[in-house]
């Protein structure tokens, strides 16, 4: 069986990104998102997330230079629980800084403490190719419907796959090097052709809340 978690990073980064993530969940194939807890839009994102019971919401850790990683991740977990009224469904990090060997032990320790999956260190394989920019150039073809289906064909295998994405609306007052691509991702994720295409490929959309039960049921 093939299971797909479609997870949006940067929930809480801006009003437009919040709107886009909610729309991608309500109208599209997005099943999960990762919340930043220290922005002016974090409370709005948490309020929106609490109103969407089918959306799994994890913690998107944003570390700054000089942070005590373990203490800071724990602090952000506590902040998440105050905002959401529940623990994170999963753990990942801004710009995937948890891949840094100096920081990874702190992420693993907190993930173990909370009993939650950490990106790339759980039964869910992580696929990051649904991203429309590299080499200083924009690549809208990579985040088109056709591009997404090519990624799905190549990378979604038996078991559970997490597809990373970054949908959102462009905010004039939010500076980001990845802006117009977010709007293209949103349009793609909401395309009505995607659900039938996934069903045809026998790919089932799930969330991180399902991960433990799915991992236990899959053959080893």
Query: Which domains, ranges and CATH numbers included, belong to the chain?
Result: 2-217 (3.20.20.370)
State residue 216's pLDDT score. Answer: 66
Taking the whole predicted model, whether its pTM rises above 0.85 is answered as yes
Whether the pLDDT of residue 93 is over 80: the answer is: yes
Q: Which of 89, 141, 143 is nearest to 115 (CA)?
A: 89
Q: Write down the H helix ranges in the chain.
A: 15-27, 42-50, 69-84, 104-114, 145-155, 180-189, 194-200, 211-217
The span from the CA of 184 to the CA of 66, in Å, is 35
Mean pLDDT across 115-137: 95
DSSP helix/strand/coil, 8: strand
Mean pLDDT across 145-162: 96
| Banded model confidence at residue 65, pLDDT cuts 50, 70, 90 | confident
Check if the beta carbon of residue 159 is closer than 8 Å to that of residue 123. yes
The span from the CA of 201 to the CA of 172, in Å, is 39
The span from the CA of 178 to the CA of 44, in Å, is 21
Whether the pLDDT of residue 42 is over 90: the answer is: yes
Q: C-alpha dihedral over 205, 87, 166, 190, to 10 degrees?
A: 40
Whether the pLDDT of residue 217 is over 80: the answer is: no
State residue 218's pLDDT score. Answer: 60
State residue 125's pLDDT score. Answer: 96
Residues 6 or more apart whose CB falls under 8 angstroms from that of 2 comprise 156, 157, 158, 159, 161, 201, 202, 203, 204
Residue with tokens 């753990």: 91
- Percent of the chain at pLDDT above 70? 97
| Banded model confidence at residue 212, pLDDT cuts 50, 70, 90 | confident
């Amino acid at each position: 069986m093939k299971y797909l978690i479609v997870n949006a990073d940067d929930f809480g980064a801006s009003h437009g990104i919040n709107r886009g993530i909610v729309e991608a969940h309500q109208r599209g194939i997005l099943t999960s998102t990762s919340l930043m807890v220290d922005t002016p839009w974090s409370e709005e994102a948490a309020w929106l997330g609490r109103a969407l019971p089918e959306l799994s919401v994890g913690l998107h850790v944003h570390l700054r230079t000089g942070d005590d990683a373990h203490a800071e991740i724990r602090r952000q977990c506590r902040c998440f629980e105050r905002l959401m009224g529940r623990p994170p469904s999963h753990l990942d990090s801004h710009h995937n800084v948890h891949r840094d060997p100096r920081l990874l032990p702190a992420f693993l320790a907190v993930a173990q403490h909370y009993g939650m999956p950490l990106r790339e260190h759980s039964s869910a394989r992580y696929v990051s190719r649904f991203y429309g920019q590299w080499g200083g150039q924009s690549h809208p073809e990579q985040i088109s419907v056709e591009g997404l289906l090519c990624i799905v064909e190549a990378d979604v295998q038996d078991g559970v796959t997490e597809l990373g994405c970054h949908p959102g609306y462009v905010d004039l007052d939010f500076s980001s090097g990845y802006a117009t691509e977010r709007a293209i991702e949103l349009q793609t994720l909401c395309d009505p052709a995607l659900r039938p295409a996934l069903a045809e490929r026998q790919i089932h959309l799930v969330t991180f809340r399902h991960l433990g039960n799915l991992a236990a049921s899959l053959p080893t």
